[in-house]
Structure 1
């Protein structure tokens, strides 16, 4: 066994630091060993369960290795501290050895319950349906991670499917059968195609999903046009204790962006973050010369290579219409050719916040012969460009009204800050009010630092679901930080800002 020689090990923080370095080398883990200062910080944050007044032991070696591996996957220290206590030493050892062998373990902790089984041996349908949806969200994120590099495809083989996705299909199949229907979840391609539609829609055809008390009925798991996991998918996937945020695409992009801007140091870091997020919001379709000018104007040239490689793609010829790239008048992104040429003769915008709410309209036609054209990657369009429609509308209104407004302050404490820490505003575009509430119940994020905390809900979502805000409010915790939020529509926030020309005195 790999750990036989250290099962009785004990030592100081310095000795633990050296032992972790030795084990990383011994197990051939492709991670960097922590410094002594880092190990002490982990102890302070309770990632290492060292009993007070005692030396470190074998358990802390396992916890240290697990922390290093999970940090590499993108987990936050808070998430790691929450999940590590749920693992036994034996389970931690197996997970670490699986990582050493390149097996990509799920790092899902064992969850025990004391609830009694139902007399029939069947779980309540709602519980089964919710479990199926959580597993489906997790499986889709893991499957997306596998196909993203372009080296794998989705195949109908149990051995290659993420276990979460396979288990979700089994549970979905059971739901169909128990409702007296044919199993419509046996084909992974059908399931993934259906995931582009709200769970409560006719496309899924499950009665349990469309019931009024099923909390995920409005959720859409895959963006219907951009084919990437949605924000709803990320939130639902993280409901299960121990599921790592490394598999959430938005978190990875955010980490990449923060890592790059942090290298600039100090206040320059925050200015760079704001400039890049504003770039993705206003200029997701951009000529290369304009992009380079933007980087120069915002002192971002040191990040030029990373920005081109990580956040933008070249515009393919197949997305041109009559040889030109048509820019959407509403969000500024590239409009794509559509089979319904009569309705979308100049293309259709792929951004969810535009589709179905704005008539197709072209603001500009760019000639690829005059400049190299670039388009933000699909993940950027989904997580940042689409939501930025509302964020920039609020920010621009505040500035036009003479308010002291800052966009994405301090690397995204909130979306818009008014008069430094007086008012913080976050605009949200989750299709499901329940998944948004679940996230806010866990944490309201950087809004905690503001005296007045406003949550702005997209008017487009309220048009589709008039009870959105009431459902959101009813699901929020009545105590704690979530209870301090003011919930308003984006149009109401804009109207509010237009009426407070002296908001700087608020």
Structure 2
């Protein structure tokens, strides 16, 4: 198995056509023994069939990348080991390359992926699905509530003061385990919260209904795997479920607005500049921040900027070194491939693409500051696409009139004197995003022409994302488009 990992790792920068994808995968697995047998190499028609079955994500700008290569290799292993294409697709859906490689390290026997499926037909499917949806929504509210309590120094204790939402989620999850004839696994608050770092799939949770085609929350995570902060999806679900928690304060929006209030009429411009700097500089220094504030006469915002950064911590380091992602500038993390590091920002084009530690960009840790975890998750990650669209729109010649975060975040990017508004989304689930947009589109409502631009990485992990979003969202005045497609469209207007 280590040989396969090394061979996959050596192709981390691979990119090619459908035919090149087929030939490269054939070269990788042609001589690979698996459970005593030699795998068959895929033909072009097999690859096309796998793509139609959802085993391989759609191409990005008609090109396939390393993530697609990993998907194809893992699909060949699973299908030829006895799994049905349907069950293999369910197991692989929304998994990133590291998680897919993790599948290869599981020594499951033939057909093991199908063992949970028969249970679905032996229970009341509608009731199970309703319980699952209720449990996930309550979990989201309970996790955000727990996060607020933790910020004030209150420990998570399974006692009568436990969040009612967490308690309700545990009851519903326990009911689901009983319905499917399994031992109850989510009977403790600490166990449940820790479990929420994993994607909502049957393999991780032991609940078959999570893999049902009707499950709207399949594959999403409620807690970020590295920071253990509530994810964007978790926050949206908490809002939709009637949570009264002020989530803006968690994400530092309240502090930012307070800082901008000090500048009077300049408030909106200061807001845009501060957000832009933070997004462009996940790793910075006190000197760089002071120089930026001084050049724009924004010294009054120094306390706010200080609250957004922290000194380098052990969890920022890979083998004792601070490594900067060459694509988004964020700190890199350990890869599943030994001796390699990868970007941990899910919206980044280099997310989970292994790079040898020796060839990564190393940053001296002395006098260096790193954006705090919640800033990285909620601002720097989603901001990669926002900055890319802004830079594309304003590129010379001749460039469009564009504004980042106009009117203190009415939308992410506005064009042509606010006649066009663009919001960027990176939700893992198109169903959840559609629910959010059906409730409220925020400041985007104020723009005559509206775009919702979807992160390309999110699209590549969920086949049919845009089609589902267009079908589920009841807004006909919004154009849904991939970030890369919108950037191409902007270049033709510039």
TM-score (norm 1): 0.68
The structure whose Rg is larger is 1
User: What is the match of residue 261 of structure 1?
Assistant: 260
Say whether 1:147 aligns with 2:144: no
Shift of 1:179: 1.0
Shift of 1:201: 4.6
Shift of 1:422: 2.1
Aligned length: 367
> Secondary structure at 1:228's aligned position in 2?
coil
1:385-425 per-residue CA deviation (whole Å, 9 max, x = no partner) reads 00111111111111115111111111111111111122111
State which of 356, 363, 374 in structure 2 corresponds to 1:379.
374
State which of 417, 441, 445 in structure 2 corresponds to 1:448.
445
Say whether 1:494 aligns with 2:487: yes
Q: Mark the CA change 1:358 to 1:318 in structure 2 (over 3 Å): closer, same or farther.
A: closer
Please give the root-mean-square deviation of Cα atoms over the aligned residues, in Å.
Answer: 2.4
> Secondary structure at 2:203's aligned position in 1?
coil
Shift of 1:474: 1.3
> How far apart, CA to CA, are the structure 2 residues paired with 1:224 and 1:161?
23
Q: Mark the CA change 1:121 to 1:469 in structure 2 (over 3 Å): closer, same or farther.
A: closer
> How far apart, CA to CA, are the structure 2 residues paired with 1:340 and 1:208?
29
1:323-358 per-residue CA deviation (whole Å, 9 max, x = no partner) reads 64221112111224x3857242xx443322247454
1:171-216 per-residue CA deviation (whole Å, 9 max, x = no partner) reads 1111111111111111333322321222135101212221111211
> Secondary structure at 2:476's aligned position in 1?
helix
1:206-245 alignment runs, 5 A limit:
206-240=207-241, 242-245=242-245
> How far apart, CA to CA, are the structure 2 residues paired with 1:363 and 1:393?
22
Say whether 1:475 aligns with 2:476: no
Shift of 1:218: 3.1
Shift of 1:298: 2.5
Say whether 1:415 aligns with 2:408: no
1:79-119 per-residue CA deviation (whole Å, 9 max, x = no partner) reads xxxxxxxxxxxxxxxxxxxxxxxxxxxxxxxxxxxxxxxxx
User: Contact 1:285–1:333 at 8 Å: present in 2 too?
Assistant: yes
> How far apart, CA to CA, are the structure 2 residues paired with 1:201 and 1:387?
28
Shift of 1:318: 5.6
Say whether 1:342 aligns with 2:334: no
> How far apart, CA to CA, are the structure 2 residues paired with 1:250 and 1:385?
17
1:52-79 per-residue CA deviation (whole Å, 9 max, x = no partner) reads xxxxxxxxxxxxxxxxxxxxxxxxxxxx
> How far apart, CA to CA, are the structure 2 residues paired with 1:144 and 1:349?
25
Q: Mark the CA change 1:166 to 1:297 in structure 2 (over 3 Å): closer, same or farther.
A: same
User: What is the match of residue 428 of structure 1?
Assistant: 425
Say whether 1:368 aligns with 2:368: no
Q: Mark the CA change 1:250 to 1:124 in structure 2 (over 3 Å): closer, same or farther.
A: farther
Q: Mark the CA change 1:324 to 1:290 in structure 2 (over 3 Å): closer, same or farther.
A: farther
User: What is the match of residue 134 of structure 2?
Assistant: 131
User: Contact 1:250–1:379 at 8 Å: present in 2 too?
Assistant: no
> How far apart, CA to CA, are the structure 2 residues paired with 1:415 and 1:339?
32
Q: Mark the CA change 1:431 to 1:469 in structure 2 (over 3 Å): closer, same or farther.
A: same
User: What is the match of residue 286 of structure 1?
Assistant: 284
User: Contact 1:398–1:497 at 8 Å: present in 2 too?
Assistant: yes
User: Contact 2:145–2:245 at 8 Å: present in 1 too?
Assistant: no
1:350-389 per-residue CA deviation (whole Å, 9 max, x = no partner) reads 32224745444876432233xx211111111111100111
Shift of 1:152: 3.4
User: Contact 1:172–1:185 at 8 Å: present in 2 too?
Assistant: yes
Shift of 1:225: 1.5
Shift of 1:434: 1.4
User: Contact 1:437–1:475 at 8 Å: present in 2 too?
Assistant: yes
> How far apart, CA to CA, are the structure 1 residues paired with 2:470 and 2:335?
40
> How far apart, CA to CA, are the structure 1 residues paired with 2:328 and 2:288?
18
> How far apart, CA to CA, are the structure 2 residues paired with 1:358 and 1:341?
10
Return 5+ residue gaps in structure 1 as ranges: 1-119, 502-506
Which structure ranks higher in relative contact order (CA pairs < 8 Å, sequence separation ≥ 6)? 2
Say whether 1:203 aligns with 2:193: no
> Secondary structure at 1:203's aligned position in 2?
helix
Q: Mark the CA change 1:176 to 1:305 in structure 2 (over 3 Å): closer, same or farther.
A: same
State which of 366, 379, 383 in structure 2 corresponds to 1:388.
383
1:414-442 per-residue CA deviation (whole Å, 9 max, x = no partner) reads 11111112211111111111121111111
Shift of 1:487: 0.3
1:118-152 per-residue CA deviation (whole Å, 9 max, x = no partner) reads xx999822222211111100111111112234x33
User: Contact 2:424–2:453 at 8 Å: present in 1 too?
Assistant: yes
Return 5+ residue gaps in structure 2 as ranges: 1-122
User: Contact 1:425–1:455 at 8 Å: present in 2 too?
Assistant: yes
> How far apart, CA to CA, are the structure 1 residues paired with 2:199 and 2:316?
27
